[in-house]
Amino acid sequence: MPTVKIEQDALRRVLEAKGLQHEPQRLAEDLPLLGTDVDRCDDEMLEIEIFPDRPDLLSCETLACAIGPFLQGSEAKPELDVSKGEIHMDVDESLLDIRPVILGAVVRGVNNGSNSEQKESFIKSLMDHQEKLHFALGRGRTKASIGVHDLANLSPPFRVKSVSGEHSFIPLQMQVEMSIDDILKKHPKGVEYAHLLEGKTRFPVILDSNDKVLSFPPIINGDHTTVSHSTTDFFIDVTGWDERSCECCLLLICLQLACHGGTIESVSVNSCLNEDLATPDGTAIQHELPLSLVTDILGHDFSDAELEKALARMGGRYLGKADGENITIQMPRWRYDMLHPIDLVEEIAIGHGYENLGTASPSHPTSATPKSEANFIRRLRECLQGMGLQQVQSLTLSNEHDQFEAMRWEPSGEVTRIKNPISIDHTLMRQSVLGSLMRLLAANRRHELPQRVYETGICVRNHNNCNRAAWLCAETTSSFSMGRGMVQALLRDLGANASGLEVEWRSVPEGQGPWLAGRSGSIVISGEEVGQMGEIDPSIAEMFDLKVPLHGAEFDCDALQRLIPDPVH
The CA distance from 336 to 381, in Å, is 42
CATH 3.50.40.10 domain locations along the chain? 82-279
Question: Residue 313, Cα to own-chain centre: how many angstroms?
Answer: 26
Q: What is the pLDDT of residue 19?
A: 87
Residue 58, Cβ density class (10 Å: 0-12 exposed, 13-18 middle, ≥19 buried): buried
For 329-377, the pLDDT digits (tens) are 999 999 999 989 999 999 999 999 988 998 877 777 777 777 778 888 9
pLDDT grade for 265, boundaries at 50, 70 and 90: very high
Q: Given this structure, which CATH class describes domain 285-355? A: alpha beta
CA distance 484 to 531: 12
Q: How many CA atoms lie within 13 A of 180 on its CB side?
A: 22
Domain 82-279 sits in CATH at: 3.50.40.10
Q: CATH number for 3-72: choose from 3.40.50.620, 3.40.50.10860, 3.30.56.10, 3.40.50.1000.
A: 3.30.56.10
Closest CA to 248 of 106, 139, 144, 125: 144
pLDDT in tens, 384-443: 999 999 999 999 999 999 999 999 999 999 999 988 887 788 999 999 999 999 999 988
The ranges of the chain annotated as CATH 3.30.56.10 are 3-72, 285-355
Reference 458, options 483, 490, 486, 433; nearest CA is 433
Under the banding of pLDDT at 50, 70 and 90, the label for residue 117 is very high
Under DSSP, is residue 487 helix (H, G, I), strand (E, B) or coil?
helix
Integer-rounded Cα radius of gyration of the chain: 29
What are the pLDDT digits (tens) for 495-531?
A: 887 777 888 899 999 889 999 988 999 999 988 999 9
- Distance separating alpha carbons of residues 52 and 1, to the nearest angstrom: 6
Query: What's the CATH number for 372-563?
Result: 3.30.930.10
Within the chain, all domains assigned CATH 3.30.930.10 are found at 372-563
How many helices (H) and strands (E) the chain has is answered by: 16, 28
Whether the model pTM is above 0.75? no
